[in-house]
Structure 1
Amino acid sequence: MNATPEQTDAAIAGENEAYIAGVAAQLNDFLAEKHQLLAEISPATLVLIDSIKTLVTGGKRMRALLCYWGWRGAGGAADSTSIIAAGAALELFQAAALIHDDIIDRSDTRRGGPSVHKQFSTLHADQGWALDAERFGHAAAILTGDLCLSLSEEMFARVDQGSNPRARAVFNLMRTEVMAGQYLDILEEVAGPSKPHNTAVARASAIIRFKSAKYSSEHPLVLGGALAGAQESLLAGYSAFALPLGEAFQLRDDVLGVFGDPVQTGKPAGDDLREGKRTVLVGLTIDAAAEAEKEFVDKNLGRQDLTDAEVARLCAIMVESGALASTEAMIADLSETAFAALDTLPIEDFVSVALSALGRGAVSRTS
């Protein structure tokens, strides 16, 4: 007898819950090992591992779950220790990226609390240490992010990859592309205003793809499939679904970075505007706005001292120029492309339902 939709949803929720619990336990055990190691080096270094543990506790686990369902779609068993280790490695990689990203973006908040570099700056100030608290915070956070990146690699080395090198190639490519995408992002912030405005959207779209979309959805899903020994045709189908999904996910993130509710996003209103992010939303605004408004955006984007009134005007320009509506239309088009590709994948129905739920949650989220 076929399962009802309610039974399917319950089964998926049960697998999600069990997998997330497994990843959390793996992370706890692994970081406890590292805590002991750092304690032997010096108790003063324990703050490094504690910062990482705080960051990997909780969160949506979207990348890990995509990896899991990529694995399940390719025939992987639900209770595999390897796919749990792979999910833990992705969570550690995500944490490393967030630590460094917050330094790059000069963002003092993360998930409603202080970012890692801000935690270290506060520690410096509280202890009354010498020299500059902000510089110490940035330096300590860079080292924490580097440690987290190293731990991600160490965790992935624990994954049983059999004789198939495909998964290792995916993991390596993911890390390289993110770093390249991050550089393109910071380059755009400083060089973007001097480049032709009519190419701003294309440049921002490339940044989205390599900085976020590939590592947020495509690579985790493909990684799971590769670990289960999937054929290249299935991995290509995974990419056809997950890449446009990842791009829609990042466009949603960009909208929330300007228009999101701070209570839900955990970041101040208009934070992306003060950070100077030249997103697709900004590119569309510059393309469509009148000359005076365009100049206002170019002049004020990235100003740390933007007033609430100036943030409100920037937001109004984005709305009145049609840029916000155009971004929402792009999200809808990319989502349609992704879910159309999902419908063609040769996977069991319950895996397709699980991936659909993850995807729709990613592009319609409010935080």
Structure 2
Amino acid sequence: MTVPDYDADLPVHVERVLADFVREAGAAIRDTEPAFEPGLDALSAFVLGGGKRLRPTFAWWAWRGAGGDPAGPHAEGVLQAVASLELIQACALIHDDVMDSSDSRRGSPTVHMAFAKRHADAGLLGSAATFGLSAAILIGDLALAWAEDMFAGAALPAETLAAARPAWRAMRTEVMAGQYLDVHTQAVGDTSIEAALRIDKLKTAAYTVQRPLHLGAALAGADDRTIRTLLDLGGDLGIAFQLRDDLLGVFGDPSVTGKPAGDDLREGKRTLLLALALRGAREQNRDAEGRLIAAAIGNAALTESDVDDVRQALVDVGAVDAVERRITELTATALATLDRAALAEPAAARLGELAARATQRNY
């Protein structure tokens, strides 16, 4: 039997196991409850309709770096275990769009908007908006349930899955705590640097980089020192990744990001970029810029022209340069930690490439 070249074609193989799983997981309920078929189709389309596959990629290369053998008998099981992270990502994004009242994702209507339209087009009873929100919550819940099924059903020895359970449990709790902290911070209007960094650590660093690295290394039986080093690496790199995403949320090209420019401003996200901007405006006595930026946070009526004005203010008070410096510093620290981790090749080189790609300036 030919052994798949997982290393060379990792995204293709992640896509393959995801497609196989969502088809099989939905087969029985699709046959018995045809009314739920649109929900199954929506989740399948969401999971398979794009995304960088960063989380399974970080997890795979941590597994490889800690001694995982892509030609060994457990490679396919590891692939399924790490690919299950994409179902947690689907849950988080679908629910995030509900919480942020977002209209589009990846250039298409968000799940709740699509189901609201389905309700309206069919002339169903009740509120189309409420139906859409309810459907999205349930579809996101299904993604989370399926993530557990996919992880637990991976063809791996029980002791291997048990070793990875602490990372799996911690990641799921941390991302939910980070999501709550995000909405709570918006609700109380906390624009402090400390609050922004707490959200970045929980909602992105832990969930996007730290725990996937932890999970992959644990699946390979890595020792505590290696796992601690990878957690340090993932903390710095994950925050750098979020800071880059914060910049894209204001300056990004909608054709690349898949969301309208300035949506983070309209949604009222308390990012480090905005926290640094408000502090910079105070320290520099730039009251006009400070008022402009503060008034934009959470203003759903911002026009493209308004967003352009805020962008210029963010540049003028030095916030953009300050965030860029932090990204550079955090990425450098992460790469130095990667060197200390002494991971097997080609994993070390691939993780270095991932770090550069995830934090590079692209707006």
Aligned partner of 1:184 among 181, 184, 205: 181
User: Does the CA-based 8 Å contact 2:65-2:346 persist in structure 1?
Assistant: no
Offset, 1:211? 0.7
Distance, in Å, in 2 between the alignment partners of 1:246 and 1:300 is: 27
Aligned pairs (5 A) from 1:85-234: 85-159=80-154, 160=156, 162-163=158-159, 165-192=162-189, 195=190, 200-234=192-226
Counterpart AA for 2:65: G
Alpha-carbon distance in structure 2 between the residues aligned to 1:218 and 1:73: 15
The answer (yes or no) to whether the contact 2:64–2:344 under 8 Å persists in 1 is no
C-alpha separation between the residues in 2 aligned to 1:307 and 1:279? Answer: 20
The answer on 1:74 being equivalent to 2:54 is: no
1: distance between equivalents of 2:7 and 2:306? 43
1:284 to 276, 280, 283: 276
> What residue number does 1:84 align with?
79
CA contact (8 A) 2:179 2:203 kept: yes
Q: Note closer, same or farther for the CA distance 1:170–1:161 as it changes in structure 2 (3 Å cut).
A: farther
Amino acid at match of 1:138: L
Say whether 1:304 aligns with 2:300. yes
Offset at 1:90?
0.4
Q: Distance in 1 between matches of 2:151 and 2:79?
A: 10
- Determine the structure 2 residue equivalent to 1:5: none
The code of the aligned residue for 2:203 comes to K
Q: How far did residue 310 of structure 1 move?
A: 1.7
Contact 1:161 1:227 in 2 (8 A): no
Partner residue of 2:262? 270
Deviation at 1:53, TM superposition (A): 1.2
**Hey, what does 1:255 align to over in structure 2?**
247
Q: What secondary structure does 1:349 align onto?
A: coil
Deviations 1:2-42 (A, max 9, x none): xxxxxxxxxxxx64443322222221121112332222332
8 A contact 2:80–2:150 mirrored in 1: yes
Equivalent-residue separation in structure 2 for 1:186 and 1:137 (angstroms):
20
Return the offset for 1:364: 1.0
> Does the C-alpha gap of structure 1 residues 315 and 365 become closer, same or farther in structure 2, counting only changes over 3 Å?
closer
Cα distance in 2, alignment partners of residues 134 and 365 from structure 1: 37
* Deviating more after overlay: 342-351 vs 290-299: 290-299
Cα distance, 1:262 vs. partner?
1.0
Gaps spanning 5+ residues in structure 2: where? Answer: none
Given the superposition, is the C-alpha separation of residues 15 and 126 from structure 1 closer, same or farther in structure 2, using an over 3 Å criterion?
Answer: same
Q: Report the Cα distance in structure 1 between the residues aligned to 2:345 and 2:83, rounded to whole angstroms.
A: 26
Once the two structures are TM-superposed, the CA of residue 308 in structure 1 deviates from its matched residue by 1.9
Contact 1:285 1:322 in 2 (8 A): yes
Matched-pair contact (CA < 8 Å) for 2:84–2:151 = yes
Q: Deviation per CA, 1:301-346: give whole Å up to 9, x if none.
A: 1111112222122111111110111011110010010001111112
In the alignment, residue 71 of structure 1 is paired with which amino acid?
A: W
Q: Partners of 2:258 and 2:112 in 1: how far apart?
A: 16
Matches of 1:309 and 1:365, distance apart in 2: 23
C-alpha displacement at 1:365, in angstroms? 5.8
1:21 counterpart (12, 15, 28): 12
In the TM superposition, residue 161 of structure 1 has moved relative to its aligned partner by: 5.1
Deviation at 1:237, TM superposition (A): 1.4
Shift of 1:163: 2.2
Distance 2:361 2:309 in 1: 25
Residue type at the aligned position of 1:176? T
CA distance in 1, matches of 2:11, 2:153: 18
For residues 54-73 of structure 1, the aligned pairs below 5 Å read 54-57=45-48, 58-73=50-65
Change (3 A) 1:182 1:288: same
Which residue of structure 1 lines up, in the alignment, with residue 229 of structure 2? 237
What is the CA–CA distance in structure 2 between the aligned matches of 1:173 and 1:115, rounded to whole Å? Answer: 28
State the 1:143 CA deviation.
0.4
User: Using the alignment, how far apart are the partners of 2:315 and 2:7 within structure 1?
Assistant: 38
* Number of residue equivalences: 349
Q: Does 1:342 align with 2:357?
A: no
Question: Is the CA contact 2:65–2:345 (under 8 Å) kept in the aligned structure 1?
Answer: no
Matches of 1:322 and 1:210, distance apart in 2? 26
